[in-house]
Structure 1
Amino acid sequence: MRLNGLAMLICGALGAFAAAPARAHPHVWISGREAVVFNDRGEIVALRHRWLFDDMYSAFVIEGAAKKKGRLTKEELAPLAKSNVEDLAEFDYFTHAKVSGRKLAFGAPQDYALEEVENKRVELSFTMPLDTPVSPKIFSFQVYDPTYFVAFELAPGASVELVNAPHGCSSNVSGAKPLAAAESKKLTESFFSGLSPGADFGVKLAAAVVVACP
C-alpha cells in the first residue's frame, strides 16, 4: 500500500519508514490559511499555504525530532520539511485550481518551512507557483486530499488573503455541500472498516474559494 505524503512526515519524524497501516479516514486534520498572490501586472502567480496540524500529528513530529529547550525552529526542521514537501508531488500538493473550467498547472513548491508554533502544534508553509500567470475574471481553487486521508478546513474566522491584488478583486468561500444519505453512510462505514470511502470524497468535503476581479 502506498504511503501518503503527510503520513511519511509522521513516519519520518518517528524514524520508521515501514509499510503504512490500514487507512481509516481521516488520519490527519489540517486547519489552513490560504493566500492568492498577484504580480504587478494584476496576474495571479501563486498560492501560499499555511497548514496547522492537529495535536496528535504535531506530537509525532515534535517527539521524533531532536528536541531542545524551547520550540523547534524552521532551521531544525528544514530537512524534514524538504523531504516531505517533495513527497507531496505524488498528490499534486493537495492543490487544485481552475480558470474558466480549465485546470491550472503548478511548478515546484517554494519557500517551504516546518516549525513548531503555539500550543505545541506544527505548521507547514509553502508557496505553489503557477506554471503560467493568469489574468482571471474568475479564479477558483480547493485544497483537499482526494482519498480523505487528510481532512482540510479553513482556519475558523480566517479569510483568504489577496496579496498585491488589483483594486476591486474579492474572494468568496463556499462550504462543502451536504452529502447524500448514501454517501454519508459510506463515509461512516469507512471509519470502522479502515477502508477508503472513495477517491472523490476529498473534493466533496472541501471548501471552494473563488477569486473575482473586475
Structure 2
Amino acid sequence: MRRTILFTAVALTGMPGLALAHPHIFAEARLEVVADDKGFVSELRNVWRFDDVFSSSVVMDFDKNGNATLDQDELDEVGQTVRTSLGDYSYYTNLSSDGKPVKVKAPDVIHVNYQDGQLLMFFAVTPEAPMQLKGKLSFGVYDPTLYTSIDFARDEDMATVGDSFKACQRAVVRPDADEVLKQNQANLTQAFFNDPTGTNMSKLFATRLEVTC
C-alpha cells in the first residue's frame, strides 16, 4: 500500500508561488522532444532526478537485503512500480496539437539508477496518434495533483532534437503563478486546491515547451 501511494504521487511539475499547494517531492528534470526526418514527433525522452529525502524513502521501501542502497533487481522493481502506477496519469505528460490533447503510449521500461544519494529515472514515451510538426504544439510534464514539483532549471532542459525542428520556432513558457491566479480567480475555487486533478486547472501553472511550425 505504501509503495502504491508513494509512486502515485510521483510526477514532475513546477508551480512556484502557488500558496495553497504544498509539494512534498522535488525533482530536477530534462525533456527532449525528438522528431523524425518526416516531420513527426517520434518520442519524448525524460530524465527525472529526485531530491535526497524522497530518494531515501524509496531506498527504505525497496532495499530488500538491507545494504542501504538499491541493487539492480531492486531498481528494476522501482521502475516497474512507477510504470504501473503512473499509467492512469499518462506519465504526467501533457501534449497538445493546435489545442487538441494528444495521449501517449506507456513506455516500454522505466530505467532507474541511484547515484550520490539521489534517485534517477529515464524513460521515453511516444504519441498515441501521429503528431506532425505543424501548427502550434505544446509539451509539458507535470503532476496534476500538485504533490510533486518539477524544476526545468534552464530553458535548454526542454530541448528539441532532429533537423525537422529547424523549420519551427520554439519557446519555453514559465507562467507567473500570481498572474495565473489573478486571471483565473473565478475558476480557481477551493475545490481546485483540495482536488486539482478534478479540475485540470493545474496545467495553467506548469512550465511547458511551445513549438510553432
Match of 1:39 in 2: 36
Among candidates 15, 23, 26, match of residue 23 of structure 2? 26
Query: TM-score when scaled to structure 1?
Result: 0.74
Match of 1:134 in 2: 131
- Cα offsets for 1:88-114 (capped at 9, x unmatched): 012221111000111102111134211
Match of 1:14 in 2: none
Match of 2:82 in 1: 84
**Contact 1:6-1:84 at 8 Å conserved across structures:** no
**1:60 partnered with 2:57:** yes
Determine helix, strand or coil for the equivalent of 1:45.
Answer: strand
Q: RMSD of aligned C-alpha atoms? A: 3.4
Determine helix, strand or coil for the equivalent of 2:126.
Answer: strand
Match of 1:49 in 2: 46
**Matched residue pairs, number?**
191
Give the superposition deviation at 1:205.
Answer: 2.3
- Distance in 1, Cα, partners of 2:33 & 2:155: 17
Among candidates 96, 99, 102, match of residue 101 of structure 1? 99
**Contact 2:142-2:206 at 8 Å conserved across structures:** yes
CA shift in 2, pair 1:78/1:170, >3 Å: farther
- Distance in 2, Cα, partners of 1:124 & 1:154: 15
**1:176 partnered with 2:182:** no
Structure 2 unaligned residues grouped into runs of 5+:
10-20
Match of 1:20 in 2: none
- Mean Cα deviation higher: 151-160 or 204-213: 151-160
CA shift in 2, pair 1:62/1:3, >3 Å: closer
CA shift in 2, pair 1:183/1:100, >3 Å: closer
- Cα offsets for 1:94-140 (capped at 9, x unmatched): 111000111102111134211113x3111111111111222223211
Query: TM-score when scaled to structure 2?
Result: 0.74
Structure 1 unaligned residues grouped into runs of 5+:
11-23
Determine helix, strand or coil for the equivalent of 2:194.
Answer: coil
